[in-house]
Structure 1
Amino acid sequence: MTQEAVAAPERDGRRNTLPDRSYRPEVQGLRALAILMVVSYHIWFGRVSGGVDIFLLISALLLTLSFVRKVETGRPLKLGGYWLHLFKRLLPAVVVVLLGVLTATAMFVPRSRWTEILSQTWSSLFYFQNWALAANSVDYYAADQSVASPLQHFWSLSVQGQVFILWPLLFALAAFIARAAKLRFRIVVLLVFGAVFTASLTFSIYETYTNQVHAYFDTRTRLWEFAFGTLLALSLPYLKLPQPLRVLAGWIGLAAMLSGGFILDVQGQFPGYVALWPLIAAALVIVAGETGSPVGADRFLTWKPLIRLGDMSYALYLWHWPVLIIYLIWRGREEAGPVEGAAIIALSLVLAYLTTRFIERPLRSPAWTGKKGRAVIVIAVCVGLAAAPVAGWQAGLRLENERVQSAADVNNPGAAALESDFVYEAAEEAELLPLLDLAGSDYADLSAPCTGRFATDAPALQGYACTEYVSATDPDKVLVAVGNSHVQQWLAAIGPIAEAKNWTLIGLARGGCQFVDYSEGISQECNDRNSQALDYILDLHPDAVITTATYSIGEYPHELLPGGFLATANAVMDQGIRFIGIRDNPRHTVNMATCPEDYGVDSATCNPDYESVRAAESPLLEMGAMLPAMRLLDVDDLVCPGGTCPAVIGNVRVYLDENHISATYARSMAPALMPRLLDALNPADSRSLVQLAH
């Protein structure tokens, strides 16, 4: 982004005059150094540098200088024209990169990642990627992020895009207040953005402490960093240090900038108060300015190659991350070595130069500058160029899925193939369900909120945490399935039974929170959810509560009895509510959803021996001895038939990752599960379901 003019302070009560100099090359050099930090830390060190935070500060600094100058020289803000001009400059490079990522995705990325990347293309194009990642980052059910998305870096651009809309509105508000109250504009700006700084920093510290992963992407936790840049811009005319101090400040700032990514856990501690480190470091460099000293840091920052790099820093930021991630996906690597990293940087520099030279610069030419009609055309064409292939691609995937689903009864029987009299009549080369691009998201849907008499005000049960998975107007029974993501998966199997029997099925699912008493304080969030879920259950008094009664792990002994389970089970059963415990399904060491494509559907990897993932003796036997009144349900014969625990049964993917049963396969288990569940609900039958299943 080009630098804007620097406004000087008011003098003697008169409107300030413009400074002699409107371009600060050391700031452009600072931008170049920040992008070098971001790129090198990402590619070679696998760390976050704090360079993005410096970008946020510089963006706010330049935006503030521009708007303060406009107001104090009496020019109209013309916000509509500003936004059109801004996004006319930003979007073309974005779209070029998005199209490049889509092309590379089709060529080098496994189909299992397509849905995620297509979805993130929309959020990147329309500047809400940070919110998508914030939701995804705290979503226990999210896809494996061991290899990040090639569009993940758009989170910071989305935050900036949102601030580029908000900040001018705040300047307009400050100008209105200044005129109405007859106050100096800078005083009002100081008050407005000082309030933003204080509120956002306070919230950022709190959310970083309580929910750091979400806070990292949250716009609200980042506003104070922009406000810091605004307050710095207001302070610059008054920060007149002697030359020796400016030289010292410049070098201290540079040293702090370059070392912060190693000294601090940027990814794990930001953006709370720790983010002050890179911001203060950059501020010291900016305050130092052009010192005129032969030993000043500005001599380095105004080096022509660094200035040229600063000119294409935007394009370099856009390109470096997708080039890195696409390479890692293509080569199946977790990191790039020194030589590979150098090649990635070189390719990113070439792409950044071409994008700057042939996309960005032409659109900044006088022929295009300031013409609203042309800006509208550029923005519309950019949106269309990116939206068309994404929409077409997604439509093609939907049509393919519908085609495969239309023959699923014959081609994809799932658990029905385990029946003794089953005859497989599928077409040759019938595709697996769910299709690979949908496999990782094949969870039971939790989108229907609890309503009416099933609604709750409990804070921990809001949103997807309380869902009416099956609703009946006048239900014969009400069942509540409560627990973690391994309970959510059983909703898909129990749902068809509930529909056939006119039951209402309520789901209280939260990833990582088994329905036990976390009395040791292992997880306060789970304690809160379980306490409120128990109150909900006791108040509702359903016909039965269903949960997982064991806990599977990926290593020997493979299955455990969860601590704190007896307390919650007894609390429910003491109120005369039937309690049904299901044996947890196996956990594997590979992604079983993609295993058929990675290793072959008949490979040993995709068909591990039963003893390699399951305990020699079912823990349910011990659980049944401790809680004889509880009904216990073992369905290992449906997920581990014939002495193996396969990735595919009846041409259906059993899992959506390494440990969660896919909703498609779970639904196919409903006919076999129905008689067992009915037996468990039969008050006249005193046998445990362990006896019934074995």
Structure 2
Amino acid sequence: QHLWSMSMQGQVFLAWPLLMTCCVLLAGALHVRPRRIVAGAFAVLAAASLWWLLASAPDDPTVYFDTRARLWEFALGSAIAAAAPWIRPRGIAARVLSWAGLVALVVYCVVPIGHYPGPMAAAPMLAVSAILLVEESPTPGSVQHLLSWRPLAALGDMSYCVYLIHWPVVVLFLAQSERAQLDAGSGGALIAASLALAWLMTRLVDRPVQRFPKGGGHVVLKKTALVLVALAVGLLPLAVADKAFDNEREAQRAAARNNDADDPEHPGAGAVAEQGWQDGSAGPIPGPLAIHENWVPDLPGPCPPGQRELFGRMKTLCSSMPAPDGDGPAVVVVGDSHAEQTIIPTAELFAERHGLGVAQYLMGGCSFGPPEYYEGDCRTRNEVVMTLLDEDPPDLVMLDTTVSAPDFPSEGLRPGVAELVEHLTSLGITVVGFRDNPRSVQDLYECSDDATHGGCSFAQGDHLAPVDPAEQLLTIPGFHEIDPTDLYCSAGTCRTIIGNVHVYLDDNHISGSYARTMAPILVDRIESLLELKV
């Protein structure tokens, strides 16, 4: 937010001379005064940018930084400057307009009006224009006389340094003091500190740099040296910071990649039974630089022979973990990204314990079910997998059976899952279903800022049905249901940090790190249901 203004100025400083050059060339070709073309061109640009903002801009925070949404603010001022000789107020109207402009600016400084970027930004810009358009000597009683007061003029001289310094001063103070806002005392002190630092920067940096290239006969050489020094001063901290971020990112990746249920500092789901729900003895993993990479990786082997071609160009994750004896996959996992995050670590561990091969067929946003319940690539993926299972039935299929709703307890069965289970079990396949995890409209990782109290918490009853909807399928011979809800929620409350591990990586997916700590517990439950021994 702080650097955005400078980046926009940089774009305008590059674009405006080019646009004005085109206007001058066009004016010459049309034999008209350049000022008319310039005023018209910037007025059109302002109208086009404002129209895009109102009619086509995305309704999300990115628009705040979008050049297209901001050009009209610069173009409006440029159009007014070009048209100044024709619209400049005079006489009593000039004095009234300039005072009205100053009052409007003061109001906009103390009262939040409108949303930005938005059309209400035109009000303060027009207020400034009303002041600047007035050609009046600073006589007593005029705005020009007030703004010529020496302290205000001095503040104007160092205003850019004030802009550069005040925001970091405020933000760093709030972060260090762990406050959400300033009170009058601290706010006044920070304003005074910002003014003092800005004065020093103006005297020791800004003015000497402005004077530096002007003396002597080697102006180009001095300017070149100035640019090189500025680049070095600016890029060296960036390079150091970038290296530090890379090192920290790799450390966070390693911590998230190497954890499992045996990690004493980050037991994750293991803490539910062993240590309780809250343990802030170690920083939670994954860290913020590694969280968006915390997806469960594909199985280590390629897609089973002859199968990759069946999926064509569909975005299907097809991979396998061959059995030690070389047999085909006895365990198959099919589903969407929730199956990837929750089931794959469990399936891998189960297969390792029992010397089995495992294959996965996953597609984001595509549940596994009878093809007629789905459309497009999802339907095709399900058709291909159904054919594979019909032709060579595995011993075990693992899939998601329910789907939860964000911040709403309308959890239900996935489309067609009852018919699917009946068909698979009729082939002699044992089916293990998994209940879905809670989902939310907010990012469940971002809200987890308090590791000592399990991050943020929410009521289980607001996100999941009172009873697992898949329990009705337990009457089908060969079907078993796994409900991991007790690994997310306890006594009706769900946590986002458990055993020093972030449970979620976004608003609805279990983190890979937490899924790995769940795997031993879930494998034990599967073995118990299937009456298997290791």
TM-score, normalised relative to structure 1: 0.54
Residue pair 1:247, 1:296 contacting (<8 A) in 2 also:
yes
1:365, CA displacement in angstroms? 0.5
Residue matched to 1:582: 435
2:450 is aligned, of 587, 595, 598, to 595
The answer to whether the aligner puts 1:411 opposite 2:263 as a matched pair is: yes
Residue pair 2:496, 2:502 contacting (<8 A) in 1 also:
yes
Equivalence map 1:199-278=2 (5 Å): 199-207=48-56, 211=59, 213-260=61-108, 265-266=113-114, 269-278=115-124
Residue pair 2:286, 2:513 contacting (<8 A) in 1 also:
no
Residue matched to 2:378: 537
1:364, CA displacement in angstroms? 0.4
The answer to whether the aligner puts 1:635 opposite 2:492 as a matched pair is: no
Q: Distance in 1 between matches of 2:492 and 2:344?
A: 28
How many residues were matched structurally? 460
Deviation per CA, 1:9-33, whole angstroms, max 9, x where unpaired?
xxxxxxxxxxxxxxxxxxxxxxxxx
Deviates more, 1:165-174 or 1:405-414: 405-414
Q: Distance in 1 between matches of 2:125 and 2:336?
A: 48
Q: Distance in 2 between matches of 1:193 and 1:616?
A: 53
Equivalence map 1:120-199=2 (5 Å): 152-179=1-28, 184-199=33-48
Q: Distance in 2 between matches of 1:336 and 1:434?
A: 32
Percent identity of paired positions between Structure 1 and Structure 2: 28
Q: Distance in 2 between matches of 1:644 and 1:497?
A: 24
Q: Distance in 1 between matches of 2:263 and 2:171?
A: 36
Instruction: Read off the aligned partner of 1:508 and give its amino acid letter.
Output: G
1:375, CA displacement in angstroms? 3.8
1:677, CA displacement in angstroms? 9.4
The answer to whether the aligner puts 1:501 opposite 2:358 as a matched pair is: yes
Q: Distance in 1 between matches of 2:463 and 2:148?
A: 71
Q: Distance in 1 between matches of 2:79 and 2:403?
A: 56
1:314, CA displacement in angstroms? 1.3
Instruction: Read off the aligned partner of 2:512 and give its amino acid letter.
Output: A
Residue pair 2:406, 2:463 contacting (<8 A) in 1 also:
no
Residue pair 1:416, 1:650 contacting (<8 A) in 2 also:
yes
Deviation per CA, 1:433-483, whole angstroms, max 9, x where unpaired?
62645476565389xxxx996879xxxxxxxxxx76x3449x99784427x
1:328, CA displacement in angstroms? 1.6
Deviation per CA, 1:539-585, whole angstroms, max 9, x where unpaired?
654659858633475xxxxx7225xx68xx44888899999773434
SS at match of 2:363: strand
SS at match of 1:365: helix
Return closer, same or farther for 1:225/1:185 CA change in 2, 3 Å cut-off. Answer: same
Q: Distance in 1 between matches of 2:30 and 2:417?
A: 63
Residue pair 1:415, 1:668 contacting (<8 A) in 2 also:
yes
Structure 1: tracts of 5 or more residues without a match: 1-151, 423-428, 457-466, 515-532, 554-558, 600-604, 680-686, 690-694
Equivalence map 1:319-468=2 (5 Å): 319-367=165-213, 371=220, 372-398=223-249, 400-401=251-252, 404=255, 408=259, 411=263, 414=267, 417=270, 434=285, 436=287, 438=289, 443-444=294-295
Return closer, same or farther for 1:174/1:581 CA change in 2, 3 Å cut-off. Answer: farther
Residue pair 1:552, 1:584 contacting (<8 A) in 2 also:
no
Q: Distance in 2 between matches of 1:640 and 1:305?
A: 61
Return closer, same or farther for 1:197/1:395 CA change in 2, 3 Å cut-off. Answer: same
Deviates more, 1:248-257 or 1:620-629: 620-629
Residue matched to 1:524: none
Structure 2: tracts of 5 or more residues without a match: 275-279, 298-307, 321-327, 349-356, 368-373, 386-397, 425-431
Q: Distance in 2 between matches of 1:373 and 1:318?
A: 24
1:205, CA displacement in angstroms? 1.1
Return closer, same or farther for 1:311/1:616 CA change in 2, 3 Å cut-off. Answer: closer
Residue pair 1:434, 1:442 contacting (<8 A) in 2 also:
no
Residue matched to 1:492: 341
TM-score, normalised relative to structure 2: 0.69
Deviates more, 1:630-639 or 1:312-321: 630-639
Residue pair 2:401, 2:417 contacting (<8 A) in 1 also:
no
Residue pair 2:468, 2:483 contacting (<8 A) in 1 also:
no
Residue pair 1:417, 1:650 contacting (<8 A) in 2 also:
yes
Larger radius of gyration: 2
Q: Distance in 2 between matches of 1:535 and 1:550?
A: 23
1:676, CA displacement in angstroms? 8.2
The answer to whether the aligner puts 1:301 opposite 2:144 as a matched pair is: no
Instruction: Read off the aligned partner of 2:94 and give its amino acid letter.
Output: R
Q: Distance in 2 between matches of 1:261 and 1:534?
A: 54
SS at match of 2:22: helix
Q: Distance in 1 between matches of 2:334 and 2:111?
A: 52
Residue pair 1:414, 1:669 contacting (<8 A) in 2 also:
no
Q: Distance in 1 between matches of 2:200 and 2:518?
A: 55
Residue pair 1:538, 1:572 contacting (<8 A) in 2 also:
no
Instruction: Read off the aligned partner of 2:128 and give its amino acid letter.
Output: A
Residue matched to 1:5: none
1:200, CA displacement in angstroms? 0.6
Return closer, same or farther for 1:417/1:574 CA change in 2, 3 Å cut-off. Answer: closer
SS at match of 1:298: helix
Residue matched to 1:144: none
Return closer, same or farther for 1:159/1:650 CA change in 2, 3 Å cut-off. Answer: same
Residue matched to 1:550: 404
Residue matched to 1:108: none
Residue pair 2:445, 2:496 contacting (<8 A) in 1 also:
no
Residue pair 2:489, 2:495 contacting (<8 A) in 1 also:
yes
Q: Distance in 2 between matches of 1:154 and 1:547?
A: 48
Instruction: Read off the aligned partner of 1:200 and give its amino acid letter.
Output: S
Residue pair 2:161, 2:198 contacting (<8 A) in 1 also:
yes
Return closer, same or farther for 1:407/1:215 CA change in 2, 3 Å cut-off. Answer: closer
SS at match of 2:515: helix
SS at match of 2:243: helix
Return closer, same or farther for 1:394/1:292 CA change in 2, 3 Å cut-off. Answer: closer
Q: Which has the higher contact order (CA 8 A, sep 6+)?
A: 1
1:283, CA displacement in angstroms? 1.4
1:304, CA displacement in angstroms? 1.4
